[in-house]
Amino acid sequence: MQRYRNIVASFSRHGFGFIVKELGLHELLSLPKHLLAEDDQDLYMKPMAERIRMFLEEMGPTFVKMGQFASTRPDLFPANLIFELEKLQNQVPPFSSDIVKSIIEQELGDTIDNLFAEFREVPLAAASIGQVHYAVLHTGEQVAIKVQRPNIRKIIKTDLEILQDLAMLVEQRSKSAAKYQLRDMVDEFSKSLRAELDYSVEARNGEKIGKQFSNDSKIHVPKIYWDYSTQKVLTMEYVEGIKINKKETLIQQGYNCKVLAERVAQAILHQIFIEGFFHGDPHPGNILVLPGETIVLMDFGMVGRLTSEMKLHFASLLIALNRQDTDKLVKEIISIGIMPDEINMQQLRADVELLKEKYYDTPFSEVNLGEAMNDLFSVAFQHRIKIPSDLTLLGKAILTVEGIVEDLDPELSIIKVAEPFGHKLVKNRYNPKRIARNLMKELAEYGEMLSTLPKHMHEMASVIKKGKLHMEITIPELGMTIKKLERISNRLSFSIVLLSFSIITTGLIIGSALTRQSTLLWNVPAIEIGFGIATLMFLWLIYSIFKSGRF
């Protein structure tokens, strides 16, 4: 509850107290008024996106990671907020070397001296979840050891529970916020962050990407030392190179920047189109350069996965963008996303046409692929088409790599490098061998289904014989149809009763007049009493129909 109060109070201090009050959190958490005060006018006058970024940084690791995760979703958030979220700093003060040694010894089951020939207490880098130390194994191999911060799991677990509560509350209280699918996004983020807390997952990701380039000597992925790794400690090969964004240093040392740009682009596109498993965070800090223009890829806490269908749809999207084919673009957006119950196809097509005008008369080689993808995903979001998170992560990764490539070689177009991959993927779809292989697979599935068909038919016949077959038929707008039928039947009943009442009463009155006899039957005024009873029944029927609201 104290953490809850701190989060809500900080949110209010950064100029969002009106949201706290609208959600009723100040009453729910019994927050004193001074915690909700917005006295810092200088802070309050800053742009909203900047205040959100400052709030996330103040709240620590979970919120910083959440902001970084949100920065990969341009389909959900505006460009100015994405720009601020990309500034989030992951640098935090290091924790003591004594704690580091204690964690390593506890996790690896031995003393530091027995484990390493050399261990440097001053960290190479410190981040929100862990920090990295240099060491040397007794075999002479240089390694980098990533050690997780103490109690970080407990802190993140608490914060994630609070975020899930807040997302649910916001969606319940605000219909406009529900369209952002906050709960789904928090669940997705929670899953990603929990995986990042397990260093063995990152190690497996690194090994998998390393195997992708096992035959390419110009792409290097640091080796994992499994005997010195656990969920909280990750030991990998130490690599000392130049960061890919240090262009002046690279030029001074004689590196060919055009070759580097080509290799970085080829590496990420190979992962996307061929492997379907790619580095989700290829920022300059995670890419180094070694002699011979060798590219080093590091830090695989965030990765993306693409199915064969997703790869194919992405390739088709690329080709449709090249040809500026609106119908094909609309078809691919629908194919890759999850459609809402209702969608205005005419408006979707008009929005894609409008977006196409942005790239009209622009040479395909000059189109920014990452930006174009994000534009298409934004159109999808406007129509409540849910795009898989791996595809939005793909857009973000391509945008990041495009920035690196453009800095190294402004003449190189990543979209031109990507085009052959896309054509190859689409061409491979119609490869006779692939078609035959898929056909054989489908025939095997059909054969299995047919072999079990008699058994299933026998089971169904038994159920029918026992009279236990239940059928459920759902007809759209059935409730509305039933209500209309009820109204028609009520009006018909009303008309019949009214007509019957009129005929009987008229007949009795005419009969009495013609015979000139009294309307007394056995000394009882029949017409008068009958008229009274019929009137009461008539009034009761009318009241019932009007009360039901279905007249």
Q: Which helix (H) or strand (E) holds 101?
A: helix 97-108
Three-state secondary structure call for residue 29:
coil
Query: How far apart, in whole angstroms, are the C-alpha atoms of residue 290 and residue 324?
Result: 40
Query: How far apart, in whole angstroms, are the C-alpha atoms of residue 181 and residue 179?
Result: 5
Residue in 40, 42, 227, 281 annotated catalytic: 281
**Residue 187: HSE in the Cβ half-sphere, 13 Å Cα cutoff:** 5
Query: How far apart, in whole angstroms, are the C-alpha atoms of residue 309 and residue 387?
Result: 14
**Residue among 298, 149, 143 nearest 228 (CA):** 143
Q: Are 530 and 504 in contact, with CB atoms under 8 Å apart?
A: yes
Residue whose pair of structure tokens reads 């109070």 in the numeric block? 9
Which residues sit opposite 118 in a β-bridge? 136
Query: How far apart, in whole angstroms, are the C-alpha atoms of residue 314 and residue 395?
Result: 10
**Residue among 259, 379, 264, 266 nearest 317 (CA):** 379
Tokens of 208: 């998998």
Q: Provide φ and ψ at 219, rounded to 5°.
A: -120, 120
Q: End-to-end alpha-carbon separation of the chain, Å?
A: 54
**216 is a catalytic site residue:** no
Q: Provide φ and ψ at 288, rounded to 5°.
A: -115, 165
Residue whose pair of structure tokens reads 């009958």 in the numeric block? 530
> Which positions are annotated as active-site residues?
281
